[in-house]
């Protein structure tokens, strides 16, 4: 019963495309303002703070609002072989400098003609540009500016490189629209659904590792250029939410074999999401987890996720459904 999975995907990719369209429009306006000051960002800030600060505030707010539109369907996209390349492009792919094997399949052409070879995924690029965490090999990391007027430039208070941000936002919009169109053409199969659960549920260690080195755990000593604005715990919760939607679609088939087993696996998946949600709520309430705690919590989450994936994999075999790895 997978029609609900397709509807869930389509609703979120449509919202994602709306977000990237807005972000690209804001980036174009920022490019125009910078061009008017000959791309001298210090001069831009001196001349137009009343225009620039609200514009960047809206860019950042749009980015934060848009993030869950993808995260809630990441399990579907990344776990479905015919859609998985979009996960590499939008959210998971590295830069060629980091790892050529997992690098994104696109280059970025800046307005001045500069080519950035396989620069990394588009959520990371736009986050890094807006909050000033991009590595130097991707260009100017941003010009510090006291955007909130409190007398100091704190984390995220930067004027991003306008050309880089415009090129990234244009490419982001292009691929978001492609994913939305691909989702409309997608006809989900039992193999797609079971594969997504088996492949994507047991990824907790990777996600907790990313959380551990982000600002949410490491603070000012964070080594990560991404996941510093929206907590990875929020992302994990959203990813598991989408995987629950998939499980609801396959649970009736599992129930034909063993109703009790189907219900148990569903409860364990819901409990895992609730476990992550509780950690996120604690973090939002001011609790700062240590690196050691992140490791311990990640190990527990991984063990629970591995058990769930094992149960679903076994059931898929009993039903004769192929799992594509």
User: Does residue 137 have a pLDDT over 80?
Assistant: no
What pLDDT, on a 0 to 100 scale, did the predictor assign at position 12? 98
Instruction: Report the C-alpha gap between 64 and 56 in whole angstroms.
Output: 12
What pLDDT, on a 0 to 100 scale, did the predictor assign at position 287? 96
What pLDDT, on a 0 to 100 scale, did the predictor assign at position 138? 75
Say which residues have a Cβ less than 8 Å from residue 218's Cβ, sequence separation at least 6.
212, 224, 291
What is the pTM (predicted TM-score) of this model?
Answer: 0.93
**Mean pLDDT estimate for the chain:** 94
- Mean pLDDT for the stretch of residues 262-289: 97
pLDDT band for 266, please (50, 70, 90 cuts): very high
Task: Print the SS3 string covering 146-200.
Answer: CCCCCCCCCCCCEECCHHHHHHHHHHHHHHHHHHHHHHHHCCCCHHHHHHHHHHH
What would the pLDDT profile of 145-155 be if each residue is shown by its tens digit?
Answer: 989 888 888 89
Tally of residues, the chain? 325
User: Does residue 156 have a pLDDT over 80?
Assistant: yes
User: Does residue 325 have a pLDDT over 80?
Assistant: no
Listed range (215-219, 252-256, 321-325) with the worst mean pLDDT = 321-325
User: Does residue 208 have a pLDDT over 80?
Assistant: yes
> Please, are residues 291 and 212 in contact by the beta-carbon 8 Å criterion?
yes
User: Does residue 130 have a pLDDT over 90?
Assistant: yes
Q: How far apart are the first and last CA of the chain?
A: 22
Instruction: Report the C-alpha gap between 178 and 17 in whole angstroms.
Output: 9
pLDDT band for 164, please (50, 70, 90 cuts): very high
What pLDDT, on a 0 to 100 scale, did the predictor assign at position 230? 96
């Amino acid at each position: 019963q997978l029609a609900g999975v397709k509807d869930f995907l389509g609703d979120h990719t449509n919202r994602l495309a709306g977000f990237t369209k807005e972000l690209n429009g804001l980036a174009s306006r920022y490019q125009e303002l910078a061009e008017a000051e000959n791309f001298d960002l210090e001069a831009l800030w001196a001349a137009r703070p009343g225009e620039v600060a609200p514009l960047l505030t809206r860019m950042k707010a749009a980015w934060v609002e848009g993030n869950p539109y993808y995260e809630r369907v990441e399990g579907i996209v990344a776990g479905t072989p015919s859609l998985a390349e979009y996960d590499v492009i939008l959210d998971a792919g590295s830069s060629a400098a980091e790892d050529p094997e997992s690098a994104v399949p696109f280059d970025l052409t800046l307005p001045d003609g500069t080519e950035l070879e396989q620069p990394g995924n588009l959520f990371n690029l736009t986050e890094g540009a807006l909050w000033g965490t991009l590595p130097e090999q991707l260009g100017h990391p941003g010009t510090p500016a006291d955007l909130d007027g409190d007398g100091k430039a704190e984390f995220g208070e930067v004027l991003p490189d306008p050309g880089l941000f415009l090129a990234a936002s244009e490419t982001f919009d292009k691929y978001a629209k492609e994913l939305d169109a691909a989702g409309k053409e997608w006809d989900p199969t039992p193999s797609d659904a079971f594969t997504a659960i088996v492949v994507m549920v047991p990824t907790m260690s990777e996600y907790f590792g990313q959380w551990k080195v982000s600002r949410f755990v490491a603070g000012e000593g964070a080594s990560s250029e991404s996941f510093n604005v929206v907590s990875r715990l929020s992302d994990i919760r959203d990813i598991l939410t989408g995987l629950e939607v998939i499980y609801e679609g396959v649970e009736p088939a599992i129930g034909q074999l063993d109703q009790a087993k189907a219900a148990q696996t569903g409860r364990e998946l819901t409990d895992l999401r609730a476990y992550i949600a509780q950690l996120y709520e604690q973090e939002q309430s001011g609790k700062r987890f240590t690196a050691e705690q992140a490791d311990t919590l990640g190990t527990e989450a991984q063990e629970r996720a591995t058990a769930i994936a094992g149960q679903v994999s076994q059931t898929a075999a009993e039903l004769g459904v192929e799992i594509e790895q």
